[in-house]
Structure 1
Amino acid sequence: MVMILHSSTWVSPQFTFFHEFVRHYDGVAVFFVLSGFLIGGVLIKTLETKGAHRSNLWDFWVRRWIRTVPPYLLVLPVVMAFEIHNGVPARTYLPYFVFLQNFNWPIPPAFLESWSLTVEEWFYLLSAPASFLLAKLLKPRYGVLLAAVLFLVGSTAYRYDYFQHYQPQDWPDWDAHFRKIVLLRLDSLMYGVLAAWVAYYFPAAWARAKWPLFVVGFVGLSMIANPVAPNDLTLFTCVWSFSVAGLGVAFMLPLMNSWKHASGALASIVTHISLISYSLYLLHATIVNANIAVPVVRMLPLPGPVKSLAGLAILWGLSLPLATLMYKYFEVPVMALRNRLKQKSPA
């Protein structure tokens, strides 16, 4: 979904159906809830089985950082080399090394897709110790729930307050000031954590309600879209639309989480894309699309429509194999290192 969004620059505005689709579905909103669901489940199981000890918190952080930070730091210097060549000052990238490029301010116009990874990293850094502390004071069952609710309410309230002091003027302004600031988006992951909490402590109700919740969630997601005109930049689109998206995805999880196995070509494609998705996310937009596809297509002596097809072909034809190589020869060895560290750690 994210790649389709970034492919839209190569698609003529005449294809209105495609652009309507792109405006309707935000792949990052889906990712945030899925990530919160996965990590929330890990936190709950850790707290219930191992306890709220500092060593377990540190182990959680180390495993998450080994999974996410090395691929990012592998790609970041490549992005910097391209962007510095294009005139972006090197000092612009200093905050990127500590995930501060969009903490409470708009991200600089460089490596823009990294905004969502920053939200993810601060989710690990802030929510985990809160969950451990509250689980120690109360019980894991109530500690994780209270931490998720506090982050959800706090982030949403801050987004509401932000809107009271800043009204965006157009879509890029909304995108920079409301969609891509860490402290305004932490609630999106907490909907996934709450879903993981229900799945763990109320499995029967979770399974029983899967179809009604799926319908409600799908309808909710279908009703929201990114703002297009200035009239769309309302309290709802700036504040509550992110809440509706988070709830919509969370409501769809009970049914989707029951799909454990599949076979055939489509299942193989989905599985492969899911495996290489992190490398694909890091490589496709700034490196492949902006710094390879766009310059190459500009040099081609071809008609406009053919150039657009060439741009799409380069974007997809280069991103997928590069991501596959990066997954196989970098991500997999790094994950093997993480597993060896786990085996060496005391029980």
Structure 2
Amino acid sequence: MTDSTAAGPTGIAYSPEIDGLRALAVTCVLIGHLYWLEFPLTGAGVRLFFCISGYLITHILLSAHARGASTGQILQAFWTRRVLRIFPPYYLALGIALALDAYAIRDTAWWHLTFTTNILLALQGEWEPVITGHLWSLAVEEQFYLLWPVTLLFALRRRNPHMAGLLCAGLIAGAVAWNLALSEAHHAREPGLGLLLMGQLDALGAGALLAWVEARGRLGRWWIVPVLALIVIGLMLSVGLGAILPALAVKGLNGPLTCLAFAGLILFARHGPRGVATPLLGNRLIVWLGRRSYGIYLYHIYIANTLLDADEAAPGWTTLLLCGGVTIVAAALSWRYLEQPLLQWRTHFPYVAPRGVAPGLQAV
């Protein structure tokens, strides 16, 4: 594991506390899917993942650009490294499901193979096939990875120091406008049009905006005030206490406020006092889970529907402990024997050409 104080080729220091946030996010998802279907923070866990992705990806792109890397080299390195990170576990799990034709998955195979599951779910308005419903969020991320680097790097070439920041803020504004424009019928239907990339840009944009502000050196010791305020507001809205502020709920501000709270959590993880942030988010167990959170998220639905009869299984402690335990073991094996070995190849695709020294492993 890269030392937390050492910066990689893009100038990004590895932060174990970010992995701690990933562990928190995937725990919310496991509880919601395996223990309590009405758990109010299930969706928040997914959107915390989005916010972290927006932050890290934008940070990488801004850092590589600031160090003089060409647009072509940045895009080549970025997309190649994303393929090495995302594709192998994804297509392994999906390939097994397709080989078994579990839940008639072959009927919708091309949607999942092309990372467009979110579009399928939005069009059909139901979580079918059940073992692929969770892939919608990975589809959103891959679509963001495809479009955002090109858009951001083009903005950076305009030589307007504020263009990138306006673009990041525009992601949030666009998502708010999109979600407000959806009809009540679409809001009531789950899944619906909110699963499309446009509907999730507030979470991705909040992370991206934080990365831009950080890159501009605008973060000072004042960070504690907005962090605490945003965390309190976001958690209130996340757990359903938005009824206390019905005007906010009607105006569709629940989502963006929650995402800003997530940005506050990232800010705390990266820049908060080490004596507080590290024990909470950087302890060994939490970081261990966070490093394997992708596998945990990816495999848990497949495993739950393999071990249990979907018509008879009920969420609860038994389901959580059995399926969650097997999932963590599977994710650990995947990390050790599939993901980590392939990630070694990232050293061959640096964002910035090394000057006589081979680049080290990236933190992301």
Displacement, 1:143?
3.7
1:96–1:237 CA distance, 2 compared to 1 (3 A): farther
Give the corresponding residue for 1:16.
none
Structure with the bigger RCO (C-alpha within 8 Å, sep 6+) is 2
Give the corresponding residue for 1:65.
83
Give the corresponding residue for 2:108.
92
Gaps of 5+ in 1: 14-18, 299-303
Amino acid of the residue matched to residue 163 of structure 1? S
Displacement, 1:51?
4.2
1:182 is the counterpart of 2:201: no
1:113–1:159 CA distance, 2 compared to 1 (3 A): same
Aligned partner of 1:129 among 150, 158, 161: 150
Give the corresponding residue for 2:344.
336
Q: Which moved more, 1:311-320 or 1:52-61?
A: 52-61
**TM-score relative to the length of structure 2:** 0.76
Aligned partner of 1:211 among 224, 227, 234: 224
Matches of 2:347 and 2:49 in 1, distance apart?
24
1:246 is the counterpart of 2:259: yes
Aligned partner of 2:128 among 99, 109, 121: 109
1:112–1:238 CA distance, 2 compared to 1 (3 A): farther
Amino acid of the residue matched to residue 227 of structure 2? F
Query: SS of 1:255's equivalent?
Result: helix
Give the corresponding residue for 1:76.
94
Matches of 2:280 and 2:263 in 1, distance apart?
27
1:94–1:53 CA distance, 2 compared to 1 (3 A): same
**TM-score relative to the length of structure 1:** 0.80
1:38 is the counterpart of 2:56: yes
Query: SS of 2:46's equivalent?
Result: helix
Matches of 2:150 and 2:36 in 1, distance apart?
47
1:11–1:249 CA distance, 2 compared to 1 (3 A): closer
Contact 2:186/2:193, CA 8 A, preserved across alignment: no
Post-superposition Cα deviations, 1:56-91, rounded to whole Å, max 9, x if no partner, equal 222222222221122211111123345x243x2513
Q: CA RMSD in A?
A: 3.4
1:93–1:266 CA distance, 2 compared to 1 (3 A): same
Aligned partner of 1:150 among 160, 170, 192: 170
1:7-26 aligned at under 5 Å gives the runs 7-8=31-32, 11=35, 22-24=39-41, 26=44
Query: SS of 1:184's equivalent?
Result: helix
Amino acid of the residue matched to residue 257 of structure 1? R
Contact 2:226/2:264, CA 8 A, preserved across alignment: yes
1:194 is the counterpart of 2:209: yes
1:65–1:250 CA distance, 2 compared to 1 (3 A): same
1:167–1:280 CA distance, 2 compared to 1 (3 A): closer
Aligned partner of 1:314 among 312, 322, 326: 322
Matches of 2:153 and 2:85 in 1, distance apart?
21
1:266–1:208 CA distance, 2 compared to 1 (3 A): closer
Post-superposition Cα deviations, 1:255-302, rounded to whole Å, max 9, x if no partner, equal 2212568479981111110111111111112x111221346986xxxx
Query: SS of 1:122's equivalent?
Result: helix
Amino acid of the residue matched to residue 243 of structure 1? P
Matches of 1:311 and 1:292 in 2, distance apart?
9
Matches of 2:108 and 2:247 in 1, distance apart?
32
Post-superposition Cα deviations, 1:138-169, rounded to whole Å, max 9, x if no partner, equal 24x434223323333223222222237x4444
Larger Rg: 1
1:129–1:225 CA distance, 2 compared to 1 (3 A): same
Amino acid of the residue matched to residue 121 of structure 1? E
Contact 2:30/2:324, CA 8 A, preserved across alignment: no
Matches of 2:94 and 2:155 in 1, distance apart?
36
Post-superposition Cα deviations, 1:327-347, rounded to whole Å, max 9, x if no partner, equal 010000110112234399776
Amino acid of the residue matched to residue 217 of structure 2? F
Amino acid of the residue matched to residue 258 of structure 2? A
Identity in percent: 21
Post-superposition Cα deviations, 1:166-206, rounded to whole Å, max 9, x if no partner, equal 4444xxx2x41154222211231011011011111124xx2
1:53 is the counterpart of 2:71: yes
Give the corresponding residue for 2:141.
120
Count of aligned positions: 319
Give the corresponding residue for 2:21.
none
Matches of 1:41 and 1:344 in 2, distance apart?
14
Matches of 1:178 and 1:150 in 2, distance apart?
19
Contact 1:158/1:184, CA 8 A, preserved across alignment: yes
1:276 is the counterpart of 2:289: no
Amino acid of the residue matched to residue 195 of structure 2? K
Contact 2:51/2:204, CA 8 A, preserved across alignment: yes
1:187–1:297 CA distance, 2 compared to 1 (3 A): same
1:9–1:35 CA distance, 2 compared to 1 (3 A): closer
